[in-house]
Amino acid sequence: MPVASTPRTTTPSKRVLDSAQFISRRSHDVSVPTKGILHATKEIQHRMKQSNYSTSSWKSHPLNPKTADSSAIEWIFLIDALNFSFWTSRPTNEQYAVTLDEKTYRGYWSLCAAVNRAQREGVDLADARVYARISEDELRQVFRTDDPQVQEEIPMFQERLHVLHEVGRVLVDKYQGRFANLLKECHGSAQAVVERVVGEFPCFRDEHLYRGKSVAMYKRAQILVADLWACFEGCGAGAFKDIDQVTMFADYRVPQALYHFGALRYSPRLMKHLREDGKLPSGHPWEVEIRANSIWAVECIRRQLQADGCKDINAVLIDFYMWDYAKDNAEAMQDIPIHLTRSVFY
Ligand SMILES: Nc1nc2c(c(CN[C@H]3C=C[C@H](O)[C@@H]3O)cn2[C@@H]2O[C@H](COP(=O)(O)O)[C@@H](O)[C@H]2O)c(=O)[nH]1
């Protein structure tokens, strides 16, 4: 359950960064080695320069919207409302998967493929008036949970149904069924969007208690503005003048890449737990420390890149790069265990 909201004195991303630093300084089982930060910075600088990493690649993914228009805004909001907990303990060939245009997608991409497939079948799942009142059976059809070919139900199916009703109701009741209307009221400020989203939608209110202090992570609210910024390439609905304040998105995939680059380290007892079981309840100190130190590690990399003269690489680009790296190098990552938390927050 979300804790009593953190005081709204600073911007939400500043609250996230302050929380990350507060937790990192007090962490017993996770650390951000300076040597690893320097190594990761060098690696990233070289690779991101080589691949000329930028927002322009966002629309190139086959499942992402091709046109930065009003339907892309609604699609991004829907996807990021459901962008959580795809992990499974099953082997790859038994995991929830969606095949579209002869390509099979798992994890986060399976969600995008299922939504795109539903739209082709005439169910516009990106329309809040549809998902505000979608029935369990209709959603089962979207995710094909009753198809014998489908090896596993999409993780957290019931939570996804509940989230759709929760966010859909608010959009229909207060924003004429369109997230674009909420966006308009934020006048080009990413921070205003994050603040409004965590205020309006409890499932985005990614706040926890750590050693008695209320801490904020806001993973899905921040990735929402980042995806809009990337899709619109910093123009129009994505022209956020304060996008550089946005932090890394504390998920369970980027910590793997950070660990791989040496920018994150776990204590022997935490490593043992992650290797043997990995499951951690939402809000567990170890979960909070892994997430917060990941945010802090990316901030340290960002500051080092700035010091090295890379002024145009913000935390969003570092995060997107790290996430894509973890996905593209799954082989190299498989010996680095992840924490497994059933959470609607990330
Ligand atoms: N930190 C961070 N976490 C991210 C993303 C994305 C997708 N965004 C990209 C996609 C389109 C645009 O090109 C964006 O670049 C998903 N996730 C999280 O990962 C987890 C899913 O992992 P797996 O089970 O292996 O698929 C889950 O917690 C999900 O919430 C990101 O970018 N950064």
> With a cut of 0.85, is the ipTM above it?
yes
3-state secondary structure of 260: helix
Q: How many CB atoms lie within 10 A of CB 53?
A: 17
- Measured by CA distance, the residue closest to atom 12 of ligand 1 is 58
The residues that are catalytic are: 251
Task: Verify whether ligand 1 is closer than 6 Å to residue 321 (CB atom).
Answer: no
Please report the pLDDT score of residue 8 as a whole number. 61
Does 340 map to a domain?
no
Does 178 map to a domain?
yes
What are the structure tokens assigned to 271, written together? 């490593």
Cβ atoms of 96 and 153 closer than 8 Å: yes
Does 344 map to a domain?
no
Name the strand (E) or helix (H) holding 220.
Answer: helix 219-231
Please report the pLDDT score of residue 50 as a whole number. 78
Which of 160, 249, 290, 340 has most ligand 1 atoms within 8 Å of its beta carbon, as the pocket-test mutant?
249
Q: Structurally, how many domains does the chain consist of?
A: 1
Does 224 map to a domain?
yes
Task: Verify whether ligand 1 is closer than 6 Å to residue 96 (CB atom).
Answer: no
Which domain does 186 fall in, by range? Answer: 12-328
Does 131 map to a domain?
yes
- Please report, in tens digits, the pLDDT of each residue of the chain (346 residues total): 555 555 566 999 999 999 999 999 999 999 999 999 999 999 888 888 777 778 888 999 999 999 999 999 999 999 999 999 999 989 999 999 999 999 999 999 999 999 999 999 999 999 999 999 999 999 999 999 888 888 899 999 999 999 999 999 999 999 999 999 999 999 999 999 999 999 999 999 999 999 999 999 999 999 999 999 999 999 999 999 999 999 999 999 999 999 999 999 999 999 999 999 999 999 999 999 999 999 999 999 999 999 999 888 999 999 999 999 999 999 999 999 999 999 999 9
Task: Verify whether ligand 1 is closer than 6 Å to residue 108 (CB atom).
Answer: yes
Please report the pLDDT score of residue 48 as a whole number. 80
- Could you give the C-alpha distances from 137 to 119, 130, 146, 266, in angstroms and in order? 16, 13, 9, 43
Please report the pLDDT score of residue 246 as a whole number. 98
* Cα 4 to ligand 1 centre (Å): 27
Please report the pLDDT score of residue 32 as a whole number. 98
Does 206 map to a domain?
yes
Does 103 map to a domain?
yes
Kindly give the interhelix angle for 70-81 and 108-120, rounded to the nearest 10 degrees.
130
Please report the pLDDT score of residue 53 as a whole number. 74
Does 335 map to a domain?
no
